[in-house]
Every structure is written in C-alpha cells, then in structure tokens.
Chains A and B, each alone.
Chain A
Amino acid sequence: MATRPTEIPVPTRAVPRTSFWFALQSKWAPYLFVSPFLILFFTFGAYPIVKSLVLAFYVTNGPKSAVFVGLENFRFLLADDDFHKAVWNTAVFAFWSVFLQLPLSLGLALLLNSVWVKGREILRLTFFSPNLLGQVFVGVLFSVLFIPQYGLVNRFLHFLAKVPLDTKWLSNPDLVMPALVLTSLWMYVGFNMIYFLAALQAVDKDLYEAATVDGANAWHQFWAVTLPGIKPVAVFVLVMSTIGSFQLFELPWIMLNNSAGPDQAGLTIVMYLYQTGFVTGDLGYASTVGWTLALGVLMISLFQMRVTGAWKGGD
C-alpha cells in the first residue's frame, strides 16, 4: 500500500491588514511617484512636439496670432533657396565631419591602445580634453585663431606653406566650411576616440593570438578581428556623429558672429530654424523646418543602420 507522501505545509504569507487608506495608497502611490516625470515629460516633451506638428500648418506671428495655411509651409520649404542652402551646408559639414572624424578617432584609439606608446593616460586626457569645453568657448577661441593677418592659424600656414597672412577664413565663403570642419575635428576627434578605445579594449585577445597562429599579419588582424569586434560601437559613433552634425548650431553661430556668415556659407538647418522662428518670428515655418529636419535625420540614421547591418545583431 502506497503511503501518501507527507504534506509539507506551504508557508502562507501573512495577509496584511486591509484598511481603506492602505488599499488606496497601494493603488495610487506608484502613479504618484512617476507623476513628476510624467508631468515634466508631457509639459516640456510631448506637448511641444504635438504643438510644433500643429504649428507646421500655420503662419504665425508668435504664439498669439496664427493663420492656418495647410501644406503651404511645406510647399514654400521645397522652393526656399535658404533652406536648400542650409541643407547643403549641413550635409557637407556632416559628410566631412564624419568621414574625417571617425578614421582619425579610430586611428588615435589604435595608437593609444598600443602598449608601446608611452604616456598613454596623459595623451588620452589631452585628446579628450577639448570636449570638456563648451561649443561656445571653442567658437570664441577659434574665431580668434582664424583672424586674418595676426591669427595663429594664418601665421602657422604662412610659415609652413606661404599661405597669405590676410586669408579670411571666416569672411570668405569658400573657407567658412573648412574652418568649421577643422574646429569640429579639434573638438570631437578625442571624444569619439574614447568610444573606440573602450571598444578596442573589449575585443577578445584570444582572437588575436589565434589569428597570429594562423599567420595573419597586423593588417589582416585589423580587418578580420578588430573591425568586426568594434562594429557595434563604430555604428553607434557613426549614427551619433551624423545626428550631432545635423544639429550643428552654436559653433558657426559664435564663430560667424551671430550670423550665417558671408553668403550664408555657415547657414545650418538648425540655424535657419532659429532665424525663422526667433528673428523672422514665424514659429509655424520654423516648426516645418524642425519636422523636416527630424524626419531627415531619422531616415539617414535608418539608412546608416541598414547599410552597416546593425539590425542583424552583434556579429
């Protein structure tokens, strides 16, 4: 005869004393705790986003007077030479910033990841330190460095390559963009280097040993081990740098003395948005520009992630 296993008594949780107030607070307290975030988010995040979408269909004179114009703002945008110029300038800046910045950052990271480089800690700090400064400060600094006749950049280039001393970096429309890209490189190469450095240090050392045993030289190891190993970080840096480049505002605004520079050579999309909204006073059209920028950046980021295979996983 089979014996019934002895039933082990399951310890039951003591039933709390249920009063009305306790039940009320246990139901609502979580909402109360998340409410500060929700209030702030809906007030300063969600509401402005929705409001700006609505405004994109109005011509306004500030928030008080608005006239509904339907899709007219978007039609105007398509034929707006200033907007086209802003898009072109921003795209050129993004292209050069990203395609110069990322290889330079990666190169520096590889250099500072090598054991034979002396004083790596100091060098890391040195290359990263420009990013500790604000864009406004860097803008002021470089506007002084780029001044004609007496500026350090011209003095150096004159010494090096007999570049004329009165070269006007910030008042010659052809030189404004190179000046902005150079300044941006100085500021962000070290910053992106830190990401690459962290990624390089996370690559499995055994893979290098195995590659060496298989007879791979340094170049092959870079292509077959290093690049795949840092790919997730490289894609992240690529996307973030592109987004950052499309949001460019403070640097040219300060370097070009609160203007778009000669022949609007430094006009960026965000600068145009600011000018439209707060100089011309048409918040409606500024919202149209803002939404176009947001959609544009979204599409570029999706394209980059698709091309780099970022959605396929970490392999």
Chain B
Amino acid sequence: MRFPYGPAAFSMLILSILSGIWLLLNPVPPKKATLVMWTFAKTHYDAYKQAIPSFEAKHPGVKVDLQLVSWQAVTSRLQAAFLSDLDVPDLVEVEISAAGSFFRGPLKDIGFRDLTDRIKQSGLYDRMVQARFAPYTSRGRIFGLPHDVHPVMIAYRRDLFEQLGIDPNEIETWDDFIRIGRKVTIPGKRYMLELPDSESSRFEPLLYQRGGGLFDPQGNCIMDNEIAVQTMMFYVPLVAGPNRIASDLGGGQIFTRAVEDGYFLCMITPDWRSKTIEVDVPKMRGKMALMPLPAVERGGRRTSTWGGTMIGITKHCKYPDLAWELALHLYLNKDDLAQRFRDTNILPALKEAWDHPAYDEPREYWSGQPLGRLYAQLAPDVPFQYTSPFVSVAKGKLSEALVACVQYYKQHGEKGFEEFVRKRLKQSADEVRRLMRRNPY
C-alpha cells in the first residue's frame, strides 16, 4: 500500500510518531533539588560549594542545587522570568548595580520576598553594616541580605613609591594626593592614579565619599545637587587638562601590563578588587600596598564603597523558611566567612565576623599588610548608597555628563567650567526625572 502524499510526508509522520512515543516513555525527570540557588561570581560559587554539604547534613533529605549563572543572565533572564511568571530559582545573588532594576513596579509585583521583618526580628539589621541594606531597600522594604561591605582603599606600587620618595603616610587629603601626583606624573608614560574619563564607575565612589549619590532615601534623583557638582569639579581636572594626574587604559591584560610597567602608580581598590589585582598582576607580589582613600578635608571620611552583592529569596520559592536558613548559613557562619575572605579578600557585612584571626593575617602580596584589618577598620565608615529602579539609567546619564564635562574642560579649561558642570548635571538629572515621571507605578 502506498502512502498517498509521498515518501517525504510519510517519513515526517513516522518521525513525529516515533519522537512522540520516545517523549512519552522518557518524561522530563522531576526536579530533585529542594532549593535552587543562582550566583554570578565564580569565587562565591566555589565557596558555597564547600559550605552547602554541611547545610544539607543539618537538614536530612534537603538537596541544594547551586548554579553558576552569568551576570547578564541574572539581570536580564531573571528579570524577564519574574515578569512572565516563569520558573525561577529559590535564592539568587544579585549584583548591586542591577538590584534596583528588580524593584520596579508595584511592591506586590517585585519578584523577591520582602525580608524586612525577618532581618529586623533576627537582629541582623544591627549585626550587619546598616549602610549595606540601603542598596537593597525599596520604599522602606528590604529585599536582600548584603553579602559584603566593599570598603574602598588606594592600592599603590610600594616599590615605585619608595623609588620616587613618596611617603603614603603623608597623604591625608586629596589635596596632598594631587600635589604629589603632579610631581610624579609624566603624561603618556606614568600617571599617579587610574581613573576613567568616559564612564562613571570610579566617579561614583568619590561621590559617595562626599555623602552624595544618585538617589536619596526616598528614591528621588539627586545627581545634580551641590555635592555632585563639587565632585565633578574635583574629578574632571584629575583626568583632563594640563594638570591631569590620572588616566585609564581598560581592564584585563592591558591593566596587567599597565600596572607592571608602572603606567599607574595607584588604583582605587575595594576589597574585591584587591583579589582581582592579585590574580591579574601576579608579578607584583610584595611590591603592592594599600592605604586609605585620601579624605576630602582633614579628619574626613577615608573610604567609600564600590560594588556589592545581595542574596534574595524569590516569591516562587516553596520553602522560604528553609531558603532563609540557607542564606543565613552562607552569610553568617564565621569560620566559613573567614575562609571565604582568605579566598576572595571580601569583607563580609556581618560585623562580628571581623574578630576572626583570618582578618589579621599578613598578606605577602600586599607587602605583609594585614589586608582584612585594614578594610575592617574602614568598614564602619562606609557611606550609604541608595538605589532606584532607574539606577541603570542614572548611571548612564552620569557617565554622559562626565564625558561632556571632560570635553568642555579640555576645550575651555576653568573658564565657565562650574556653570557648565551645573547645567550638564541638571540636564542629566532632568532626563532621569522625566523617565521617572512616566512611571505610573
């Protein structure tokens, strides 16, 4: 008997019947894990892999599936999954610059569970650095537990400082730093500081150091206030004009080469970046050291903050109490935190954890300095950093303002500079406000 539509159609029919039968006989196995957790940082993933077996041992029958997911996937895929009610993990670590974007829309539509009551009732709000809850708070509700503090210091080439006769102890304020920087900077060959002139990643810590920010606690855009103007007027002459002392080449291999060549003498370095420098520039072992950030004025704040991570529990999670226990297990165990600090150089947000001897261990790479203690001493002074669902837009607009101010300064110098800075920052802030006004939620 011949199939009336020819052999091709017959093959398709047979294939579809066979694949249908195969799928029926091999259904997708049900999820075995009790909790699924995403993290975007390899260092966190490695550390949690070691910590999870003890959690599972404490909770017989519980299985945790830890997954390393790219940063982009966490920010875009998770966001899309939240909005579309698709399958999402139970716990997620989110990077600070993306956190705000998860808090848009009505509170009821936020994909993360409100942890405010758990955090306050457990006393964690006082046991952790309070400033670090700010980036994960929206409309007064806390949606994430902070993983870290990320105080900022200055990493410098100790060997070159000694050769050039620079005593870091004499640098107390930015004025001191700039004065020395102008002496040792050789344009095109050596710069006192690594600072970009085309994006705001290093501008923001300096803005926070002065008590400024992109948003206030109520979520209003404040990136054109007096502090922002003063920060911009301080920053731009560092990276442009005849007296510049800073430059930037980029990350990765080029950064390695630049540090090795002595192209940069100093780098703004939060705790996490100290590990990046150790890994990326291994030849500088014993030649690097850390000093506090110069203060804006004598007696002022000697640090800031750059970067961060929170852990949140999604509304999708079927076992929120168990997920909360896992979050506490990963973020509060002092011995685990100490080991994680040894592996990553990241200071945890839990203040009592800093008493561990690990934080006093001298580090050979950093010329024998006790890296943990140096960062821990600065941690209580870390500034607040408020966020908004519009934080990504605001960062972009701030970068645009920075580029415009740099271009103006290159062409006109100090003449009319302050007026231009005010006008340009206001323009950027107004654009953010205009977008915020469109938000009907």
Tell me if A164 and B249 are in contact (CB < 8 A): no
Tell me if A64 and B72 are in contact (CB < 8 A): no
**Could you show 23 A-B contacts with beta carbons less than 8 Å apart?**
A33-B5, A59-B439, A59-B440, A62-B79, A62-B82, A62-B105, A64-B83, A64-B84, A64-B85, A67-B440, A82-B431, A147-B249, A147-B250, A147-B254, A164-B188, A171-B196, A171-B197, A264-B400, A279-B76, A280-B393, A281-B83, A281-B101, A281-B105
**Interface residue tally on A, bucketed by range:** 35 or more
Q: Which residues of A contact B199 (CB under 8 A)?
A: 171, 259, 262
In the bound assembly, the distance between CA atoms of A278 and B109 in angstroms comes to 16
Nearest CB to that of B427 among chain A residues?
A81
Given contacts A150-B257, A171-B197, is CB(A61)–CB(B399) below 8 Å? no
In the bound assembly, the distance between CA atoms of A279 and B72 in angstroms comes to 11
Cβ-based interface call for B53 (8 A): no
In the bound assembly, the distance between CA atoms of A151 and B254 in angstroms comes to 9
Tell me if B101 and A279 are in contact (CB < 8 A): yes
Cβ-based interface call for A65 (8 A): yes
Given contacts A150-B257, A166-B188, A280-B390, is CB(A65)–CB(B109) below 8 Å? yes
- Total A-B residue contacts, Cβ distance less than 8 Å: 106
Tell me if B438 and A76 are in contact (CB < 8 A): yes
Instruction: Enumerate A248-266 residues with CB–CB distance to B below 8 Å.
Output: 258-264
- A55 CB → nearest B CB, Å: 13
- Interface of A toward B, CB cutoff 8 Å: 26, 29, 33, 59, 61-65, 67, 69, 76, 81-82, 147-151, 164-166, 168, 171-173, 258-264, 275, 278-282, 285
In the bound assembly, the distance between CA atoms of A167 and B353 in angstroms comes to 46
Cβ-based interface call for B106 (8 A): yes
Q: Which residues of A contact B65 (CB under 8 A)?
A: none
Nearest CB to that of A260 among chain B residues?
B396
In the bound assembly, the distance between CA atoms of A151 and B258 in angstroms comes to 12
Query: Taking chain A's interface residues, is the majority helix, strand, or loop, or is none over half, making it mixed?
Result: loop
Tell me if A263 and B248 are in contact (CB < 8 A): no
Tell me if A171 and B101 are in contact (CB < 8 A): no
Out of B188, B196, B393, B441, which one reaches A61, CB within 8 Å? B441
Q: Which residues of A contact B439 (CB under 8 A)?
A: 59
- A25 CB → nearest B CB, Å: 8
Tell me if B250 and A148 are in contact (CB < 8 A): yes
Q: Which residues of A contact B396 (CB under 8 A)?
A: 259-260, 264
Contact with A along B179-205 (1 / 0, CB 8 A): 000000000100000001111000000
Q: Which residues of A contact B101 (CB under 8 A)?
A: 279-281
Tell me if B438 and A168 are in contact (CB < 8 A): no
Tell me if B254 and A149 are in contact (CB < 8 A): yes
Q: Which residues of A contact B403 (CB under 8 A)?
A: 173, 262-263
Q: Which residues of B contact A173 (CB under 8 A)?
A: 198, 403, 407
Q: Which residues of B contact A76 (CB under 8 A)?
A: 438
Q: Which residues of A contact B328 (CB under 8 A)?
A: none
Tell me if B249 and A61 are in contact (CB < 8 A): no
Out of A63, A65, A166, A259, which one reaches B106, CB within 8 Å? A65
